[in-house]
Amino acid sequence: MENFALLKEDSFEESLGEILQVNPKNEKHTILLVDDEVNNLQLLRRTLRHDYNIITASNGKEALEIVEGKGKEIALIVSDQKMPEMEGTEFLKRVAGEYPDIVKILLTGHLDVDAIVDSINDCHLYQYIVKPFDPEELKLTIETGIQKFDLLNNKTIILKDLRELFYKTIKLIASALDAKDPYTHGHSLRVTMYSLILAKKLNLDDTMLEEIETAGLLHDIGKIGIPQSILCKPGKLTDEEYEVMKSHPAQAEKMLMGIKKLTVISNWLRTHHEKWDGTGYPNGLKGEEIPISGRIIALADTYDAMTSTRSYRQALSHETAIEEIKRCSGTQFDPVLAEIFVGCSDELKAAKEDPETYYPKYSYLQKIIYEDK
């Protein structure tokens, strides 16, 4: 995530670069590359050799022997998944047990959400990359992984710096999610901004504001497992496609529930498509059974969806969207929150028209991270 006000497509790499502060001594880190295909190893070596000390292995067993001898020197491992004798996940799981600080990246030919979640938990995986990969994208991922390694091993890094990196990472994830669908560019940041406008009217405490901001940024993370053909379909979804789309809140919870800092938030993300009258999904929760954060994000998400152009329709006006929220108060939305949200109409309209100015104004995380800088 980055020092975002709003992350524009042409600033993605620039934003990531600002996160990546090279280690103070400017020493080259050592990376272990593991792949049974010679051509892949050669491509990886060519991509990375100028910036890192490179060690290679052609299978998991050979790589384990290298780690046993040089584990304290290795900062990061990039391993293929499909290899003879020992798969990448088995190798990385063994490494995680002995050298938990080594950053681990898995290359895989298949995008399987369940397998990814298991790998993250079992192997303490930092990132997975689906093949064929873009060498420049891989370099950026490795740079962030090296930054993580430095943070974990630098005793002088203060809590605020870690919090800043976490915040920037969350915002990069949000930007990457929005990039899956050109019609939703900036959606996650706008939903977060509208959620914070409402949350601050409720006088919620600082912890809730921080968690609602994080939840807003990540509310659609479950869509990482939804096929592009469904996300960007110009026409009406079939019943089967709609069921797939409806799985994203539960997928979001599943992806984040193993991360201690995000345990509470993962439960909230499951509920942002529930409805006040109990007709929502995935659990049909009703009224105050729905966490207040889920009710807040539901309003913000719906408002942004209505006022944004999509592949299947043009954007509604701000005024039309506000009238629709009034109409759905007490059925789709918490009537008390809907009334307060409608009362924020002028703020919402101004924020929508100039998000780069208004997002920092409402962001709790930006305030606590950057106020002393």
For every residue of 291-350, DSSP letters joined together read -HHHHHHHHHHHHHHHTS-BTTBPPPPHHHHHHHHHHTBTTTB-HHHHHHHHHTHHHHHH
Nearby residues of 361 by Cβ (< 8 Å), 6 or more positions away: none
Nearby residues of 164 by Cβ (< 8 Å), 6 or more positions away: 369, 370
Higher-pLDDT residue of 336, 366? 336
Query: pLDDT tens, 8-24?
Result: 444 444 444 444 444 55
Structure tokens at 7: 């992350």
pLDDT of residue 91: 92
Query: pLDDT tens, 334-351?
Result: 999 999 999 999 999 999
- Mean pLDDT score across all residues of the chain: 85
pLDDT of residue 4: 35
Whether pTM exceeds 0.95 = no
Distance (Å, whole) CA 236 – CA 33: 45
pLDDT of residue 159: 63
Buried/exposed code over 205-219 (b: 16+ C-beta within 10 A; e: otherwise)? eeebbbbbbbbbbbb
Report the percent of the chain where pLDDT is more than 90. 47
Q: Which helix (H) or strand (E) holds 63?
A: helix 60-70
Structure tokens at 206: 């600082």
Torsion of CA 1, 212, 113, 180, to 10 degrees: -60
Does position 160 have pLDDT exceeding 50, yes or no?
yes
Per the rule left: phi > 0, alpha: psi between -120 and 50, beta: everything else, 131 is beta
Give which of 176, 146, 150, 243 is closest to 4, Cα–Cα: 176
Query: Of the spans 71-75, 197-201, 257-261, 360-364, which averages the highest pLDDT?
Result: 197-201
Question: How many C-beta atoms lie closer than 10 Å to residue 5's C-beta?
Answer: 16
Q: Which domains does the chain have, with CATH numbers?
A: 24-153 (3.40.50.2300), 161-370 (1.10.3210.10)
pLDDT of residue 199: 96
Q: Are 174 and 224 in contact (CB under 8 A)?
A: no
Q: Are 31 and 142 in contact (CB under 8 A)?
A: yes
Cβ burial of 13 (10 Å; 0-12, 13-18, 19+) is: exposed
Distance (Å, whole) CA 231 – CA 311: 10
- Catalytic positions are 223
Query: CA 181 from chain center: how many Å?
Result: 15
Cis peptide before 132 (omega within 30 of 0): yes
Question: How many C-beta atoms lie closer than 10 Å to residue 23's C-beta?
Answer: 15
Packing angle of the helix pair 12-19, 159-179 (nearest 10 deg): 160
Packing angle of the helix pair 38-48, 135-153 (nearest 10 deg): 70
Q: Are 301 and 184 in contact (CB under 8 A)?
A: no
